Amino acid sequence: MPLIDPVSLLSSSSTEELARRYGRLFSLPSSASLVAYLGVSALLLALLFDRLHFDLISTLLGLATTFASAVVLQYLIKAVEPSSIATPRRVSAMVLSGTLIWIFAVAAELVYVSLFKSIQNTVTIAFGAFLVCAFEFVVINGAFVEKTRLAGPLSIIHPTLVFLWSGSLRVSIAGVGAGVIVLAFAFAFIYRLKAIRTLTNDSAIHTLQAFLKTWAAHNPEELERALSRYSVEESVGTRVIKFEMPKKQPTLVLSGIHPGPFFPVGSYNLPELFFEKFDAEQMTALTMHRPGGHEKNLPTRDECVRYANETATLAAGIQTKNRPSDMRGPVLARIDDFSAACIALGNQALVMVSSSPLSSDDITYSVEGKLASLAKEFGFDVSIVDAHNSIGSKRVKFEITSDRPWRDLIERLRREEEHEFRVGFAHSSEAEFNHGPDISDAGVGVLTFEVEKTKWALVLVDSNNANPGSKEELRRRLDGAGFKLIELCTSDSHNLAARGVAMERGYFALGEATPISDVASYVVKLAQIAESRLSYRSYGMGEFVSKVHVFGTKAIEDFASLARRSSTFAKRFVMIAIPLTLVLLILTFIISD
């Protein structure tokens, strides 16, 4: 049974790693297919039990006990642990796997008999029963039921029911003895895993089941409790820029909290919560992705809702008194593998960084600190935005190897004259758009600016990254409509992340579920609506600090340690257990001969 590496879930590519390594844990055949496979396997096992002779009564008994085992097991597991992820499909898949193991053991003896002796003892029926018991014990205790004293008796049900209907069979000491050894190994495996613990004293088994309940059953309660035990209180800054509008005021939100880690844990849907809470205050939240990683995730849903409510209330209190007469830029530049789009309102500067069409990880806080220091030399208080708009291509890392090009960029922005500007806004909530799950609940927003008779578009999409080339396609379409693209920014929402862990990467980036040509056409439509609303709008800016509990680095480091220790032990155990089982299987043939 593969062990889940929790630290991979807290990295910048968490859901990619989840989908790549563990998608098969959640990819089961349909219920109809499972019923068919289980029926065929039970039929084949009955034939092998009866030395390949077909007996109607035995076959029907085999089918009945196999299906009854699945039903009884699922009922009892849910009875002893109501929060278990055991569903009829998952339990049936386990019973099917156990039946196939049994088939392999008995079939191996039949092959041996046909080659080396004339009398078939079928001693591997008993040995196979122990194999099935050991396998199902590991699955039940590892994934379904945390208490070993309950998992042990549950694992006996399926092999016992099937074994009893098989009639008067020879049960050799060799077969039983070998089976007991295998079963002892299974118990040793589970107990050793339980001995591997986190700093907060959660066992590897408990951690695994907490993750499984979160992904498979959408029940994050246990995982959030575990994460909360690591959490540290921090003061987190949030910046907003709000534009005066007749109806809902478009508000750029630059939060110090990182969306994530994945559905439905903690701050996974922070951009959508902002959108909901700001909407109640007559604002439209447009979340921009700031530097930082998953150590800035909130561990619980309650904490996230509290933070979103507080942020919306504080943002509503910001007065839009600044006249639209002090915009510098937009200034666009290419530095190494990255592009930068800069605008400044007074002494507040936004620097939006993109690797498109290449792919990059989250920008780190250290990089933001370097750029902030450079900007201060020119009198700017700068906010860095990670545009987060290209994934799946060649990966590059954002590093400042030389200050010079970035210093030149900020200096160029400072040399720009301040201009009056007009601003307009349109959002997907006011114009129908049929899109796929690559765009989440906060939708698409377009802010248009007119500076010195040039029209610019800032596109904000509630997505987790974008297909390579998405930005370039939007720029081409907007150019054709008379707009210059400032930047395409995604929110890095994890609202849809890990809901479909069987799909590649675990989520759809923008342009994967909705053709980017459709997105681009729709963005042009919104830009034109926003253009019709261009006016000299006053604006307001604010920054406030919230006290919140975040993951912190300790949780990530400890999960990494737990994963390494558990994975190393599991690999070593499997390397011993499989050869040992095969040797014991062969010995049962020879000794019983």
Same domain, 259 and 183: no
Residue 121's pLDDT is: 56
- Mean pLDDT highest for which of 44-48, 165-169, 330-334? 330-334
Q: Which residue has the higher pLDDT, 272 or 551?
A: 272
Give tens-digit pLDDT for 409-428: 999 999 999 999 999 999 99
Q: Which residue has the higher pLDDT, 463 or 555?
A: 463
Confidence (pLDDT) at 247:
86
- Over 90: is that where the pLDDT of 215 sits? no
SS (H, E, C) 434-503: CCCCCCCCCCEEEEEEEECCEEEEEEEECCCCECCCHHHHHHHHHHHCCCEEEEEEECCCCCCCCCCCCC
Do 586 and 486 fall into the same domain? Answer: no
Mapped to the 3 state alphabet, what secondary structure does 261-295 carry?
CCCCCCECCHHHHHHHHHHHCCEEEEEECCCCCHH
* pLDDT at res. 239: 96
Q: What residue numbers bound the domain in which 146 lies?
A: 6-216+556-591
| Same-domain status, 182 and 273 | no
The answer to whether residues 427 and 377 belong to one domain is: yes
Q: Is residue 41 part of a domain?
A: yes
Shared domain check, 136 and 166: yes
On whether both 447 and 541 belong to a single domain, the answer is yes
Mean pLDDT of the chain: 89
On whether both 386 and 440 belong to a single domain, the answer is: yes
**pTM for the model:** 0.85
Structural domain count, the chain:
2
Pair 239, 155 in one domain: no
Greater model confidence, 47 or 153: 153
Residue 225 forms part of a structural domain: no
Reference 420, options 587, 535, 315, 583; nearest CA is: 535
pLDDT (0 to 100) of residue 402: 87
As given in the structure block, the two tokens for residue 186 are 């299974």
Residue 227 falls within a domain, yes or no? no
Whole-number pLDDT of residue 2: 42
State whether 500 and 569 are in the same domain. Answer: no
In this prediction, residue 245 has a pLDDT band, given cuts at 50, 70 and 90, of very high
How many CB atoms are located within 10 Å of the residue 89 CB? 17
Asked if residue 228 is part of any domain, the answer here is no
Tell me how far apart the alpha carbons of residues 313 and 251 are, in angstroms, rounded to a whole number.
13
- Indicate the pLDDT class of residue 545, thresholds 50, 70 and 90: very high
Kindly indicate the confidence band of residue 120, based on its pLDDT and cuts at 50, 70 and 90.
low
pLDDT band at 55 (very low <50, low <70, confident <90, very high): confident
Query: Does residue 4 have a pLDDT over 50?
Result: no
Token pair of 349, please?
A: 């500067």
Separation CA 213–CA 554 (nearest Å): 23
For residue 12, what pLDDT is reported?
45
What is the average per-residue pLDDT within 8-27?
A: 50
Q: Does the pLDDT of residue 147 top 80, yes or no?
A: yes
Q: Which residue has the tokens 């066992």?
A: 203
Q: What is the mean pLDDT of residues 120-136?
A: 85
Residue 392 included in any domain: yes
Residues 61, 176 within the same domain: yes
Q: State pLDDT tens for residues 338-387.
A: 999 999 999 999 999 999 998 887 888 888 888 889 999 999 999 999 99
Whether 382 and 498 share a structural domain: yes
Residue 25, pLDDT score = 56
Q: Which tens digit of pLDDT belongs to each residue from 449-463?
A: 999 999 999 999 999
The span from the CA of 543 to the CA of 254, in Å, is 9
Does the pLDDT at position 116 exceed 80?
no
Q: Give a yes or no: residue 126 inside a domain.
A: yes
Q: Are residues 198 and 266 in the same domain?
A: no
| For residue 497, pLDDT beyond 90 | no
Of 406, 469, 343, which is closest to residue 398 (Cα–Cα)? 406
What local confidence, expressed as pLDDT, does residue 169 receive? 55
List % helix, strand, coil for the chain (3-state, nearest 5): 50, 20, 30
Residue 226 falls inside a structural domain: no
Percent of the chain scoring above 70 in pLDDT: 91
